[in-house]
Amino acid sequence: MNILYINHYAGSNVHGMEFRPYFMAERWAEKGHNVTVAASSFSHLRTKNPDLGGQKYMAEMLGKVRYFWIAGNEYHGNGMGRIKNMLSFLHGLYKFKDKISDGGLDAVIASSTYPLDIYPARKIALKTGAMLIYEVHDLWPLSPIELGGMSPRHPYIMLMQRAENYCYKNSDYVVSLLPNAKGHMVEHGLKPEKFIYIPNGIIKADWEKPFADPPVYCDKLKKYHDGGFFLIGYTGAHGIANALDSFVKAGEYLRGKKIKLILVGPGPERERLIQSAHSMGLDGIVEFLPPVKRGQVPELLSQMDALYVGLQRQPLFRFGVSPNKLMDYMMAGKPVIFAIDAPNDMVADAGCGISIPPEDARAIADAAVRLAETPKGELAAMGARGKEYILKNNEYDVLSQKFLGVFSLPVKRN
């Protein structure tokens, strides 16, 4: 089977995130399928961008997966530079479509965050007779409307809305990372039977590698454990959406308790949160540690007693959430404090922690105390249930096989 996976921001094991296209493509290629990932040469998400040496495009093999890089300008922020980068990618999809496909195609996936890549993707699919699949990471243009405050009548938003509607009406199937988005999509032209939910996932092998000796931050964390402290960790971005003010403020309710809240990671809110904790006199309760490398995350999480994930209360989350860090937490086999208002709650489904309302410092503190007072055997059982749930439902071997099943379904174009 010949598969084209179009994702503007696609990364790889060499270039960094975003990883989903690579993880899917790698597994399909291992099963004997020919997979090309088409992406822009520049993305703000990657730790390393490919060097095209001045060429307009470049094809290369990364393992068994063929990458087709389309030259894109560097940009910072969400201004005209990023728009120019988007336009250059779309133009390249049209201009180099014969080189991208590298022969016949059986399936074309349009998977960029914004929906405009559906137009060149459909043109390629129609020319090659391939199935067309639209993969939804976030709902556009609803995300910039509800999160960014943009007007539905803004020309950019209206352009995106036409593209989203076109996606639902002209794709054979829609693969959504959001479990409760079907109603919204049907309102915008999707036939209900075209909706397929395939969430984000994890790589089991990442959790089977031996830890460093000693593990990252071992000296500090072991000292706390030896002192009888219960450690609740947060790892990842320190941004506004992560609702970390309430996590820090929970320290006020933990004074005199043998509990520490430990935040590890980068982000625009990090320094402000550090100052906030200091101003509240929480230096001995709330601690901030520098980011660790992706490969060190399992060994870091293994040293925590419980883990916290939270998001701001946002209407957009009514369609569901799929936070990667939650899957990491559950794979680490640790109980989780889940502070997200969304219709899907893997922590409750797996029975691996405590679910609480978002942005509620008192509720976080109460959950922390409950877990700290729970016998170690029960904590271990919670963690084991979470890991079992993720391996059954969210490992990329499982997800990639489910996605392969979509390719064998009958064509459903309007």
Predicted confidence (pLDDT) per residue in 342-354, tens digit = 999 999 999 999 9
Residue 319 confidence (pLDDT)? 95
pLDDT at 305 over 70: yes
Helix (H) or strand (E) holding 243: none
- Spatial neighbors of 199 by CB under 8 A, at least 6 apart, are 177, 179, 322, 393, 394, 399
pLDDT at 103 over 80: no
pLDDT at 414 over 80: no
Report if residue 104 sits inside a domain.
yes
Same domain membership, residue 213 and residue 98 = no
Percent of the residues in the chain that have a pLDDT greater than 90, as a whole number: 88
Same domain membership, residue 167 and residue 30 = yes
Prior bond to 18 cis, omega within 30?
Answer: yes
CATH number for the domain harbouring residue 320: 3.40.50.2000
Same domain membership, residue 190 and residue 249 = no
Report if residue 50 sits inside a domain.
yes
Q: How far apart are CA 182 and CA 173, in angstroms?
A: 12
Report if residue 317 sits inside a domain.
yes
Domain of 259 in residue numbering reads as 205-392
Same domain membership, residue 185 and residue 134 = yes
Distances (CA, A) of 242 to 13, 62, 66, 323, 339: 26, 33, 35, 11, 10
Same domain membership, residue 272 and residue 211 = yes
Same domain membership, residue 178 and residue 39 = yes
Q: How far apart are CA 379 and CA 330, in angstroms?
A: 12
- Spatial neighbors of 413 by CB under 8 A, at least 6 apart, are 132, 170, 171, 172
Distances (CA, A) of 2 to 28, 101, 243, 336: 10, 9, 43, 41
Residue 412 confidence (pLDDT)? 63
Report if residue 385 sits inside a domain.
yes
Same domain membership, residue 364 and residue 263 = yes
What is the domain count for the chain?
2
Same domain membership, residue 94 and residue 221 = no
* CB-side neighbour CA atoms (13 Å) of 280: 22
* List of E strands, 236-348: 259-264, 286-289, 306-310, 336-339
Report if residue 75 sits inside a domain.
yes
Same domain membership, residue 352 and residue 253 = yes
Report if residue 388 sits inside a domain.
yes
Report if residue 412 sits inside a domain.
no
- The model's pLDDT over 168-184, given as tens digits with 9 standing for 90+, comes to 999 999 999 999 999 99
More confident residue, 295 or 337: 337
- Spatial neighbors of 170 by CB under 8 A, at least 6 apart, are 118, 122, 132, 413, 414
- The model's pLDDT over 41-71, given as tens digits with 9 standing for 90+, comes to 999 889 899 999 999 999 999 999 999 999 9
Same domain membership, residue 257 and residue 113 = no
Same domain membership, residue 344 and residue 227 = yes
Report if residue 135 sits inside a domain.
yes
Same domain membership, residue 370 and residue 249 = yes
Once rounded to an integer, what is the mean pLDDT over residues 70-83?
90
Alpha helix ranges (H) inside 171-269: 182-187, 218-226, 244-249
